[in-house]
Amino acid sequence: MVKDNKKVYIVNFWHGINYGATLTAYALFKLVSNLNYDAYLLDNRLPDNIIRDIYFYPRKFIKKYFKYQKFKKEEDAILISGSDQVFNPNCASDFHDDNMLNFALLNNKKISVAASFGVDKEKFLAQNSEAQIENMKNSLKSFDYISVREQSGVDICSDVFGVEAKCIPDPVIIFDNWEELIKNSDEDFRTDFEKNKIVSYIFGKTDEHLKVYNYLSDKYKTGVLDLEDYKTSPENWLYAIKNCDLFVTNSFHGLCFAILFKKNFIVLIKENESPARFDALFNLLGIKNQCVFLKQIYEKDCVFEVNYEETERKIKEARERGYEFLLKSLKEEPPLSEERQSAKEIVRENYLKKLKEKRNLRSKFKKVYHYFRLLMLNFILPEIVTPMFNSKKKGK
């Protein structure tokens, strides 16, 4: 089938050290590619990211399955931000301008797909300054289509920014062919896995989590495979979740896969952590349980009770809704209002201004570096080296 001639750049955390970020990027990349667009993940890595990627455990996965490049400034390119917490200015703040697609040219179509603010409206307002919110307001008003991952995101868009947003599921739910990856898992990993039928994937693991693992291991008479320590491939990571008896996590995407694979699971969160992302998924899929704190593990049975027959029906509905939004936002051209055109111009002007300031700063740094180098070569080094050289001559 002939590809659509339009290029699509996808902006998210595909280069983050996080299985969920890698796999939601994979899902969206595949969904867009399967619609016959020329899809690329935006290569906006910083120099330290590129050095770190040499040791990054999904590096082979990225090279095998992704296409990525820097923005070539095509006027007719489509830009997508999402999924994950791309609308959270406190999450990977170095990339916030890119996540908001502020680098776009005036004619680029701008779409967000299942973007997340990461928190509810009350916390979002508490965590961000008026200046940050005003900047984001212009950026969001310049989008042609907006979809968010949580209903709380719809409320933030409407009440804080005055823009309309659709609520759709994360791309890992919209995409429906994970078996293609799972069948590429390693045979050696599968053998090791058979000894540990409880699988955990916890960010910010502490000694208390280790105690919980020991408790669950004793309770269910099986070992615990800690995927955060194992540093395996995304294919193996998926295999472990698909084939475990119990999955323990505080990862949003880990939870998504546990539900997709119809597993028993426990969701652990910190005392001060917002459960908004998880609750939104539970509400979407009609799951009644709630996240639990560490201490509750010892007090009650914390395994979620899920009616997977009903959940499967809701997943199908959500998947269709998400796919419909993606198809429409890519194919259709929305009428360009004066407000959106004005917002696009303001965002572009602000971005170019910020870019100029960065270049001026780099230029000043180069001048200081050049001056310091001359100073070292012509004055400081001779003062150090000459006496040393003379003393050696006298010694001879």
The pLDDT tens digits for 172-228 are: 999 999 999 999 999 888 887 887 889 999 988 999 999 999 999 999 999 999 998
Q: How many CB atoms lie within 10 A of CB 69?
A: 11
Band the pLDDT of 376: cuts 50, 70, 90. low
Are the folds of 7-175+320-334 and 179-303 the same? yes
45-68 pLDDT tens trace: 876 665 555 555 577 898 899 999
d(CA 151, CA 350): 30
When the candidates are 3.40.50.2000, 3.40.50.620, 3.20.20.70, 3.30.450.40, the CATH number that belongs to 7-175+320-334 is 3.40.50.2000
Mean pLDDT, residues 223-240: 91
Band the pLDDT of 108: cuts 50, 70, 90. very high
Mean pLDDT, residues 343-366: 82
- Res. 254: pLDDT tops 60: yes
- In CATH terms, the fold of domain 179-303 is Rossmann fold (3.40.50)
268 close to 293: Cβ distance less than 8 angstroms: yes
d(CA 82, CA 12): 5
- Res. 290: pLDDT tops 90: no
145 close to 111: Cβ distance less than 8 angstroms: yes
Q: Which of 21, 299, 305, 303 is nearest to 170 (CA)?
A: 21
Query: Hey, CA dihedral for 112, 117, 121, 124, is it positive or negative?
Result: negative
Phi, psi of 247 (to 5 degrees): -115, 130
Q: What is the pLDDT of residue 357?
A: 86
pTM (2 decimals)? 0.87
Higher pLDDT, 367 or 142: 142
Q: What is the pLDDT of residue 271?
A: 78
Q: Cα separations (Å) of 325 from 11, 130, 266?
A: 18, 31, 31
Count Cβ neighbours within 10 Å for each residue of 313-349 and write b for 16 or more, e otherwise: eebeebbebbbebbeebbeeeeeeeeebeebbebbbe
Sequence-ordered strand ranges (E) for 232-306: 246-249, 265-267
- Res. 385: pLDDT tops 90: no
Question: What does the domain layout of the chain look like in residue ranges?
Answer: 7-175+320-334, 179-303, 336-396
Higher pLDDT, 367 or 329: 329
Q: What is the pLDDT of residue 57?
A: 59
> What value does the mean pLDDT of the chain take?
88
If you count DSSP H runs as helices and E runs as strands, how many of each does the chain have, helices first?
Answer: 18, 11
106: enclosing H helix or E strand: none
d(CA 145, CA 134): 19
- Res. 389: pLDDT tops 90: no
Higher pLDDT, 366 or 167: 167
- Res. 2: pLDDT tops 50: no
Q: What is the pLDDT of residue 1?
A: 44
Q: What is the pLDDT of residue 263?
A: 96
Higher pLDDT, 50 or 337: 337
Distance of CA 235 to the CA centre of its chain: 18
Tokens 């004619």 found at: 107
Q: What is the pLDDT of residue 359?
A: 75
d(CA 302, CA 208): 16
Give residue 334's region: left, alpha or beta (phi > 0; psi -120 to 50): beta
Report which listed range, 273-277, 296-300, 356-360, is most confident: 296-300
What is the share, in percent, of the chain residues with pLDDT greater than 90? Answer: 68
Mean pLDDT, residues 258-267: 96
Amino acid identity, position 197: K
Which of 124-128, 193-197, 245-249, 361-365 comes out lowest in average pLDDT?
361-365
69-100 pLDDT tens trace: 999 999 999 999 999 999 999 987 889 999 99
Q: What is the pLDDT of residue 258?
A: 97
Query: Hey, CA dihedral for 208, 290, 317, 310, is it positive or negative?
Result: positive
SS3 45: coil
- Res. 328: pLDDT tops 90: yes
